[in-house]
Amino acid sequence: MADLLDEVLDRLEKVSVTDDWSDEEIIERYDNAAPHPDCPDIFGYPGSVRILSDDTVCKASGSASLILAEVNALEFVRAHTSIPVPQVRRVLTGPTRSRFLMEYIKGRPLARLWLCMTLWQRFIVAWTLRSYIRQLRVASAAYERRTVPGPMGDSPQGFFTPLWMFGDRFKGPYNTWAEFCDELNRRYGKRGLGLFNPTEDLVLTHGDLTARNIVVGEDGRLWLVDWGMSGFYPPFVYWLLSC
């Protein structure tokens, strides 16, 4: 019965015309495609998210590790939560430029709708996002490398968080959160600043959970997009990134 259920679920995975395109065709189409109108420039690459077809967009970066970390996060969230996130269709890595194709979420950014929403609609949005964060915290226990801070990967990764949070000096990679705390506490502990807790549990954090990265889909659901800064950090990081 379990095998039958898995087969049915596999068939339910959305298919796309892009599934039949070669890697070379994808790269050519990306180079000639229009930037996604709702996506800001990411990490200095103008129009890095572009529309390839009616149901697929492509995101590019000069960092293969950044692309793979975002793909890992999306696939983990889809597998372990009910949070609506884009389905990853294909990953293309290269020495100077990497890309991945994902589902095109039809809708409008919350940033464009918030001022027009009623108080009740805003409450529903806040309550829904609260449930998403709770799901992420619970699901984090299923990640085998959850003690390693930073982006998800097979080995420790440097932090993609904003520089103002940890600074350029403390970008990692670190093997454990305790290792990061030790370095930070050695530098700032003598200045009377509060010490970081090396025993803090790490949870999957979106890293850029702002209104522009929340899409009110045509299906009525709240979709979370742009997981490029995601990774495993202590829960307080959510509050820092919301400031």
* Whether residue 147 sits in one domain with residue 101: no
Best CA proximity match to 135, nearest among 220, 203, 233: 203
Rounded Cα distance, 218 and 190, in Å = 53
* Whether residue 203 sits in one domain with residue 154: yes
* Whether residue 98 sits in one domain with residue 126: no
pLDDT of residue 183: 80
* Whether residue 221 sits in one domain with residue 134: yes
* CA–CA–CA angle 106, 107, 111 (5° rounding): 140
pLDDT of residue 186: 77
Domain final residue, candidates 105, 124, 139: 105
pLDDT of residue 148: 92
* Whether residue 139 sits in one domain with residue 198: yes
Domain final residue, candidates 82, 105, 128: 105
* Whether residue 146 sits in one domain with residue 81: no
pLDDT tens string for the chain (243 positions)?
545 545 444 445 668 889 999 999 999 999 999 888 887 544 444 568 999 999 999 999 988 999 999 999 999 999 999 999 999 999 999 989 999 999 999 999 999 999 999 999 999 999 999 999 999 999 999 999 999 998 999 998 888 765 556 666 667 788 998 888 888 777 766 665 567 788 889 999 998 898 999 999 999 999 999 999 899 988 887 776 665
* Whether residue 238 sits in one domain with residue 127: yes
Q: What one-letter code names the amino acid at 174?
A: Y
* Whether residue 163 sits in one domain with residue 198: yes
* Number of structural domains the chain divides into: 2
Domain final residue, candidates 105, 131, 158: 105
* Whether residue 153 sits in one domain with residue 36: no
pLDDT of residue 63: 86
pLDDT of residue 227: 94
* Whether residue 77 sits in one domain with residue 163: no
Coil, helix or strand for 216? Answer: strand
3-class secondary structure for 40-106? CCECCECCCEEEEECCEEEEEECCHHHHHHHHHHHHHHHHHCCCCCCCEEEEECCCCCEEEEEECCC
Q: What is the span of the domain harbouring residue 29? A: 2-105
Q: Give the CATH number for residue 16.
A: 3.30.200
* Whether residue 50 sits in one domain with residue 137: no
Cβ neighbours for 16, distance < 8 A, ≥ 6 positions apart: 53, 55, 56, 89, 101, 103
pLDDT of residue 9: 47
